Amino acid sequence: MKEFMFLFRGDNDVWDSKSPEEQQEHMQHWEKWIGEMAEQGKFVSGERLLSKGNTVLDNGKIMDRPMTEGKELVGGYLRVKAESLSEATEMAKGCPGFEWEGGAVEVREVWPE
Amino acid sequence: MENNNNIDQTLNHLFREESGKMVSVLIKIFGTENIEMAEDVVQDALVKALETWKYNGMPDNPRAWLYRTAKNKAIDVIRRNKHSKLIDFSDPQKQLLTSGYTLETTMDNYWNEDGIKDDFLGMMYGCCHPEISQENQITFILKSLCGFSTKEVAKSFLTSPDTISKRLYRTKEYFRKNRISLQIPTNKQIEERTHTVLSAIYLLFNEGYNSTHADQLIRKDLIGQAMLLCKSLLSNKRTKLPEVYALMALMCFHSARLDSRITREGELILLSKQDRTSWDKVLIQTGEKYLNHAAFGNNLTTYHLEAAIAFQHCAAQQYEDTNWKEILMYYDLLLEIADDPIVFLNRCLVILEYKGPKEALIVLKTMKNTSMLDKYYVYHATLGEIYKRLLNTNLSIKHYERAIKLTQSKQEQQFLKDKIAGKC
């Protein structure tokens, strides 16, 4: 099996606009989605990212924000296992992030060892 | 600074009832190799409750507060140990604890009410693993499931905290090495394993009921804990077996008479001299209900019979009204199930009441293995009583004196001395 990375892109404003109950319910869907992958031995790891950050540029300058913002902002990642890019892509369709508008999942294969 | 005393009391009570459940859930999360980690989290939650409540006052729902605090502390522990080898995250569900996407939800799922109850029962079966000695079983139960400190356990067993620490260490090592699963056993094993759990519970109960403690608080604490453990078995469909109901009934009948058994000075009072009006009628009724529940299936256990005997005593308005015939019948059945010298001797005492001393002596003489019995204080106390009623004072005193030498209990020694002196 190959390893893939899901990069979750989207605006954090959507998350912030929801009530704690809605957020909690939403996270239960993530738990279910990732839990199913884990049951099949396909979940490796993953973390959420805060939307604040800095970007260091090649000229040594520092931007006091992530490289891309808005819809392009990377909000987190997941490492998963799949036989092929198309299988991984199929898996990514189940991402609960799509329940809320404006999200996208970028599926990338991890450079093989 | 609202009523600190009240806070202490609530916390103590909460801790006795809830700490075992919290520890069980946490051990399920951290694994049986991390029992200390689980105990530390619960301890931290308690300390935090004490500090916060004294400053801010008691929360509306102290139990929920304590659970929430323990849960948050568990999340901290997981975050800290995510990359260490201490916790085994290989199980798919536990793997979810390692990601920020799923940690909190997964943690919440571990703490649902039904899950907590099952984990607690699973822990109870784990503590009473047949390969762990009974002494170690009940030590571990008191520490982990009943929220006793090592010092309190030591006090309960009249031994040193050092001895208790060693026992706890050995049990934890056993858990670690053998990866004991903390689960309610399969239906195939449930009767046998429950039997072991009940033995431990009854031992705990008797430690409180028969113990030589002058300290009433410790005794009642032990009795209360034993009954609480038994009750939790009755709260689960799979574990509420007839034998469990029978033991629960037995403990109700016994504890209903608790206060009338001992004088304020700590002296034992004979059943015939007890003030029956002080017996707890509500508890006796509760026991009756449990006993009725115990009467299904075709498994007649020693607890059924002991409960039936205890009930007969509770039902008699005065000692003279005791239905010895019925009691003797139960003893006959009991002896069939359990060929136990204590049962045999107790049966002799029933014969003594029902048929008189001559008959009792004849039966007692049929006993085999008297060389072993010779070291038993109850054997000599029984002979002392029989000879006393046969008006053979010399033999009576001889046996009572031998009995005094054989018992460690001050109360029993005093009781036997009074017998010799003719005071009872």
Minimum distance, in Å, between the CA of residue A9 and any CA atom of chain B:
15
> Distance between CA atoms of B319 and B267, rounded to whole angstroms?
20
Phi-psi bin for A10: left (phi > 0), alpha (psi -120 to 50), beta?
A: left
List, for residues A50-96, the tens digit of each pLDDT value: 989 999 999 999 999 999 888 899 999 999 999 999 999 999 999 99
Angle at B212 between CA B206 and CA B216, to 5 degrees: 80
Q: What is the pLDDT at residue B13? A: 87
Please enumerate, as own/partner, the contacts of B335-343 that have beta carbons within 8 Å and a separation of 24 or more: B337/B300, B337/B301, B337/B302, B337/B305, B338/B302, B341/B367, B341/B369, B341/B372, B341/B373, B341/B376, B341/B379, B342/B378
> Distance between CA atoms of B183 and B16, rounded to whole angstroms?
22
Tokens of B37: 């980690």
- Chains A and B form CB pairs within 8 A to the count of 48
Chain A residues close to B98, C-beta within 8 Å? 45
Cα radius of gyration rounded to whole Å, chain B: 25
- Among B92, B95, B100, select the one facing A47 at the smallest CB separation: B100
Minimum distance, in Å, between the CA of residue B73 and any CA atom of chain A:
19
Domain count, chain A: 1
> Distance between CA atoms of B139 and B163, rounded to whole angstroms?
10
For chain B, list residues whose CB is within 8 angstroms of any CB belonging to chain A: 92-93, 95-96, 98-102, 104-106, 109
- Among B96, B105, B109, select the one facing A38 at the smallest CB separation: B96
Residue from B71, B93, B99, B110 whose CB has the most chain A CBs within 10 Å, to mutate:
B99
> Distance between CA atoms of A50 and B335, rounded to whole angstroms?
72
Minimum distance, in Å, between the CA of residue A86 and any CA atom of chain B:
24
pLDDT tens sequence for chain B (424 residues): 456 788 888 888 888 899 999 999 999 999 998 999 999 999 999 999 999 999 999 999 999 999 999 999 999 999 999 998 899 999 999 999 999 999 999 999 999 999 999 999 999 999 999 999 999 999 999 999 998 889 889 888 888 999 999 999 999 999 888 877 789 999 999 999 999 999 999 999 998 887 666 677 788 889 999 999 999 999 999 999 999 999 999 999 999 998 898 877 777 788 888 999 999 999 999 999 999 999 988 889 999 999 999 999 999 999 999 999 999 999 999 999 988 888 899 999 999 999 999 999 999 988 877 777 788 888 999 999 999 999 999 999 999 999 999 988 777 888 889 889 876 6
> Distance between CA atoms of B98 and B91, rounded to whole angstroms?
11
Domain range enclosing A14:
2-109
Q: What is the pLDDT at residue B213? A: 63
Cα radius of gyration rounded to whole Å, chain A: 15
Domain segments of chain B: what residues? 1-111
Is residue B139 within 8 Å of residue B132, measured between CB atoms?
Answer: no
* CATH code of A88's domain: 3.30.70.1060
Say whether A8 sits in a helix, a strand or coil.
Answer: strand
Return phi, psi of residue B148, to 5°: -80, 145
pTM: 0.87
| ipTM rounded to 2 decimals | 0.92
Task: Pick the residue from chain A with its C-alpha nearest to B92.
Answer: A38
